[in-house]
Amino acid sequence: MFTHLFEYLDRLYDLPGAGLFRYITFRAGAAIILSLLITMVFGAGIIRRLQRLQIGESVRDLGLKGQKEKEGTPTMGGLIIILAILVPSLLLSRLDNVYIQLMLLSTVWMGVIGFIDDYIKVFKKNKAGLKGIFKVIGQIGLGLIVGAIMLMNDQVTVRMTLEEAQTGGYEITQFFNSYDPDTDSVKEYVHVKTTLTNVPFFKSNRLDYKDVLGFLGDNADTWVWIIFIPFIILIVTAVSNAANLTDGLDGLATGVSGIIAATLGVMAYVSSNAIFADYLGILFLPDSAELVIFAACLVGACVGFLWYNAFPAQIFMGDTGSLTLGGIIAAFAIVLRKELLIPLLCGIFLIENLSVMIQVGYFKYTRKRFGEGKRVFLMAPLHHHFQKKGLHEAKIVARFWIVGILLAVFTVVTLKIR
């Protein structure tokens, strides 16, 4: 909003300083600061309001140390996160950008699902919350929207040379020329509609989903949605649920999400810069620079929420926050065409999810086989296993953050590893 306003004022009155809003780095910095301020200024008031409404967490006795002290802590803190994402995004990003529109939609969409779940738990006194089938339907809906926009919107394109586009048989949406100083010549570039994505560790670093349907020949382009859409739905559902499972200790899901958000911001910056994208051999995504602004808002919201959510937490994010963060991260990685890096970047989410699947699967198997269920972990998700072993909650969270940072660094490094 401010970007459009100051562009107009600059054209009309040549307003000093208005040109700053043309720079991604300035707006990203302003977005982080504004997000932090929103969480700190409005967070305390929201917490007091939730306490007055007696919106507290009813903690089921799991035999964990320090668990009873959390009884009555306000939940639905995800409202603070959503507010700190939406307001700076609306003010500092270009609202005519399809990537920003999609991320704002993802935030609101998953926020509503999480809010309904928390509302049922807190106000209806139903600990089960929103039925699982309705959560899944909501996640499938978001996956359908993200996948459809990736396939059909003309603003969602990849830049490549005319020769590459003709060789690959891609649908061209825009032609333009660019001077290449290395060869002292003008190269022909095009924007194309494609289902290309980046693949880590391989020399070509590219995969086209339509190649999976290569046996269909020329019809692969027509039927690629059969592979693409279900895969996108799987990613959105898996990451959203995994983030929800990770939200079990003070500051754990918040800190891990902030680390992931910062990494996605770096990915967005290099993917939207022709020079960096060419140097790293990754896909150049026109108009995706605005995602840097959204990533900055997400980082600011997570870090700011830690002000209240770090041990001992004054508020829990609830499903309002965890489902939203998971959905945002999934959609962000997909639009950046880095979805195949999710298992590495979101490694903490992945291992938490796997620990539950392994625990449940092994228990059912041993009960059926031997008549008595056995467990792999002392308790699942994995963070509770370490609690059972006697580690303090704050130490577990700090160590998970450290592992998350290592995974984030390695994810960035994969851009150059072939």
Per-residue CA distances from 253 to 240, 294, 348 (Å): 12, 19, 9
CB 214 within 8 A of CB 220: yes
Residue with the bigger pLDDT between 12 and 306: it is: 306
CA 64 distance to own-chain centroid: 30
Question: What is the number of structural domains in the chain?
Answer: 1
Location of structure tokens 């100051």 = 6
What span, in angstroms and rounded, lies between the C-alpha atoms of 121 and 115?
10
Q: For the ranges 22-26, 253-257, 307-311, 396-400, which has the lowest average pLDDT?
A: 22-26
Per-residue CA distances from 314 to 36, 79, 169, 309 (Å): 17, 14, 56, 6
CB 308 within 8 A of CB 43: yes
What span, in angstroms and rounded, lies between the C-alpha atoms of 175 and 195?
19
Nearest to 375 by CA among 363, 393, 392: 363
Q: What is the pLDDT of residues 333-382, one digit of tens each?
A: 999 999 999 999 999 999 999 999 999 999 999 999 988 899 999 999 99
Read off the pLDDT of each residue in 321-338 and give the average, rounded to a whole number.
Answer: 97
Residue 167: inside a domain, yes or no? Answer: no
User: What confidence category does residue 386 fall into, taking pLDDT thresholds of 50, 70 and 90?
Assistant: very high
In the three-class reduction of DSSP (H, G, I as helix; E, B as strand; rest coil), residue 259 is classed as helix
Task: Find the largest Cα–Cα distance for the chain.
Answer: 81
Judge if pTM exceeds 0.85: yes
CB 304 within 8 A of CB 35: yes
* Residue 141 DSSP label: H
Read off the pLDDT of each residue in 137-142 and give the average, rounded to a whole number.
Answer: 97
Tell me: pLDDT of 232 over 90.
yes
* Alpha helix segments (H runs only) across 211-289: 220-223, 225-246, 252-271, 274-280
User: What confidence category does residue 51 fall into, taking pLDDT thresholds of 50, 70 and 90?
Assistant: confident
Which pLDDT does position 304 carry in this prediction? 96
Which pLDDT does position 371 carry in this prediction? 87
Nearest to 111 by CA among 86, 89, 132, 91: 86
For the stretch 39-77, what's the b/e string if a residue is b when 16 or more beta carbons lie within 10 angstroms of its beta carbon? beebbeebbeebeeeebbbeeeeeebeeeeebeebbbbb
Residue 10: inside a domain, yes or no? Answer: no
Read off the pLDDT of each residue in 67-73 and give the average, rounded to a whole number.
Answer: 74
What span, in angstroms and rounded, lies between the C-alpha atoms of 102 and 86?
12
Which pLDDT does position 164 carry in this prediction? 85
Residue with the bigger pLDDT between 104 and 53: it is: 104
Q: Please give the share of the chain, as a percent, with pLDDT higher than 70.
A: 90
Tell me: pLDDT of 279 over 70.
yes
**What is the chain's mean pLDDT, rounded?**
90
Which pLDDT does position 318 carry in this prediction? 92
- Give the domain extent around 146: 24-157+194-413
Burial class for 137, CB neighbours closer than 10 Å (0-12, 13-18, 19+) = exposed
Which pLDDT does position 10 carry in this prediction? 59
User: What confidence category does residue 163 fall into, taking pLDDT thresholds of 50, 70 and 90?
Assistant: confident
Q: For the ranges 59-73, 147-161, 162-176, 290-304, which has the lowest average pLDDT?
A: 59-73
Q: Please give the share of the chain, as a percent, with pLDDT higher than 90.
A: 69
Q: What is the pLDDT of residues 169-208, one digit of tens each?
A: 888 888 887 766 666 667 788 999 999 999 988 877 888 9
Beta pairing partners, 190: 160, 175
Residue 418: inside a domain, yes or no? Answer: no
Read off the pLDDT of each residue in 78-104 and give the average, rounded to a whole number.
Answer: 96
Q: What is the pLDDT of residues 102-116, one digit of tens each?
A: 999 999 999 999 999
Location of structure tokens 């989410």 = 349
Burial class for 249, CB neighbours closer than 10 Å (0-12, 13-18, 19+) = buried
Q: What is the pLDDT of residues 117-129, one digit of tens each?
A: 999 988 888 888 8
CB 325 within 8 A of CB 223: no
CB 31 within 8 A of CB 293: yes
Burial class for 334, CB neighbours closer than 10 Å (0-12, 13-18, 19+) = buried
Tell me: pLDDT of 265 over 70.
yes
Residue 408: inside a domain, yes or no? Answer: yes
